[in-house]
């Protein structure tokens, strides 16, 4: 049993197919990203949203986030079928690894794949609409509604406490990006093959899988803990009723 949705699994498969090669563990994804997608990677220390705006302005790109400045581990900016992933270059290696995977997932799920689907359905000229160069024609409006194809400017960085933000949609986007990131860095099948999921107690199974995720796949400790629990639950090796009730 897999914990990935079909959409997430397709995104992971597309990434590695586009890269043309698989990376050994623990993965950095930097070479694979350069091979697979039209995305540049920029590392800045102590990354804040203002730093990204300044970096872009220095390259004659006028852009500002529609939210308050804050520190971030990573951020995606995409336009014209290309993207830039900004990450905090001062973060620990394990955090940097997960941040990059998470932002790659956002590019695939929220920007690249919807854009490619729109082009396939409506033709190359629809990119002019997605890039804000013209509005939809009547025929394009009808076909986009029938095909449920997202049209418009993509924004994936939202003010977290702003009223009016669809928190359910935001949570779903982040959850899907996390799932793709984890599948890129530590595929479920590989992890379970390397873990003794027959260990007698849930605590032991949890400790074993968390240690493997940290030591062999390079995931941050907190991420490894949560992901390990998810994988064990997905294959029926989570906490038993008796363990939940404290009977063993």
How far, in Å, CA of 140 to CA of 128, rounded?
12
pTM: 0.86
* Nearest residue to 4 (alpha-carbon basis) of 182, 223, 225: 182
Q: Nearest 5 degrees, angle CA 160-CA 164-CA 170?
A: 50
Cα–Cα distance for residue pair 82/75, rounded to 1 Å: 14
Structure tokens at 235: 């294959």
What is the rounded distance in angstroms from the CA atom of residue 165 to the CA atom of residue 245? Answer: 39
What DSSP assignment string belongs to 177-205? Answer: HHHHHHHHHS-HHHHHHTS-TT-SSHHHH
User: Which stretches of the chain score pLDDT less than 70?
Assistant: 1-2, 125-126, 128-133, 135-169, 240-248
- As a whole number of Å, the end-to-end CA separation of the chain is 27
Query: What is the rounded distance in angstroms from the CA atom of residue 68 to the CA atom of residue 131?
Result: 24
Segments making up each domain of the chain, as ranges: 6-166, 186-248
Name residues whose C-beta falls within 8 Å of residue 28's C-beta, 6 or more positions apart in sequence. 97, 100
Q: What is the mean pLDDT of the chain?
A: 84
- Rounded to whole angstroms, the Cα distance separating 181 from 187 reads 10
Burial of 142 (0-12, 13-18, 19+ CB in 10 A): exposed
98 token code pair: 């997960």
Burial class (CB in 10 A: 0-12, 13-18, 19+), 78: buried
* Confidence (pLDDT) at 214: 97
pLDDT tens-place string over residues 142-176: 555 445 554 544 445 654 444 444 556 677 888 99
Q: Which residue has the tokens 């960085």?
A: 157
Token pair in block for residue 111: 């920007």
pLDDT in tens, 62-78: 888 878 899 999 999 98
Looking at residue 171, what is its pLDDT? 75
């Amino acid at each position: 049993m897999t914990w990935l949705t079909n959409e997430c699994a397709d995104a992971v498969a597309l990434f590695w197919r586009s890269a043309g090669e698989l990376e050994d563990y623990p993965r950095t994804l930097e070479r694979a990203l350069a091979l697979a997608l039209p995305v540049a990677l920029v590392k800045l220390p102590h990354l804040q949203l203002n730093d990204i705006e300044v970096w872009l302005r220095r390259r004659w790109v006028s852009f500002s986030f529609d939210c308050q400045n804050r520190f971030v581990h990573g951020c995606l900016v995409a336009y014209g079928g290309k993207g830039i992933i900004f990450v905090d270059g001062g973060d620990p290696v394990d955090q940097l690894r997960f941040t990059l995977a998470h932002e790659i997932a956002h590019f695939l799920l929220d920007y690249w794949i919807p854009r490619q689907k729109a082009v396939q359905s409506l033709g190359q000229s629809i990119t002019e609409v997605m890039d804000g160069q013209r509005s939809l024609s009547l025929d394009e409006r009808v076909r986009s509604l029938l095909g449920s194809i997202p049209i418009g400017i993509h924004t994936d960085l939202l003010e977290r406490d702003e009223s009016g933000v669809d928190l359910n949609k935001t949570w779903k986007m982040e959850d899907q990006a996390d799932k793709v990131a984890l599948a890129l860095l530590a595929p479920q099948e590989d992890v379970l093959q390397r873990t003794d999921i027959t260990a007698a107690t849930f605590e032991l199974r949890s400790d074993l899988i968390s240690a493997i995720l940290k030591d062999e796949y390079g995931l941050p400790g907190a991420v490894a803990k949560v992901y390990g629990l998810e994988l064990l639950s997905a294959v029926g090796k989570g906490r038993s009723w008796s363990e939940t009730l404290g009977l063993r």
